[in-house]
Amino acid sequence: MFLVNRKTPRLTVAEARTRTGGDPPEAVLLDVREKPEWRAGHAPDAVHAPMTALAAGASLPAAVRGRALVVICRSGHRSQQAERLLAGRGADAVDVEGGMNAWAAAGYPVVDERGNSGSIA
């Protein structure tokens, strides 16, 4: 029996923004960081689903079920794990290389939980 190491292509932040920013968007930006990170700063149209909750078996938020997902975290590590977990559940998911650090570095908007200018913790 052979084990296949599946290598899924990753999106750049520019590709992620294009896929999640259309009208209507092609995909949903799913932020898998934890609540304090989310509160400090996230992409304006992202949906929050913490990796720890997903790993514990939590369902995706109703608004994103059945939709293509672009998964993002702070640096790209957790989003890779989440992409594999979600793909294993049958979701159409791809992760973002560099995460929110790369998003903010590219000059894309980041808002806090109140919609004000946010930061990446």
Render pLDDT for 81-102 as a digit per residue (tens, 0 to 9).
999 999 999 999 999 999 999 9
Q: What is the pLDDT of residue 3?
A: 40
Exposed / middle / buried, residue 117 (Cβ in 10 Å: 0-12, 13-18, 19+): exposed
CA 19, chain centre distance (Å):
12
> Half-sphere exposure of 37 toward its Cβ, with a 13 Å CA cutoff?
19
- Tokens 């908007």, located at residue: 109
Confidence of residue 2 (pLDDT cuts 50, 70, 90): very low
Which has the higher per-residue pLDDT, 65 or 3? 65
Nearest CA-CA partner of 34 in 56, 66, 12? 56
- 22-77 pLDDT, tens per residue? 889 999 999 999 999 999 999 999 999 999 999 999 999 999 999 999 999 999 99
pTM of the model: 0.92
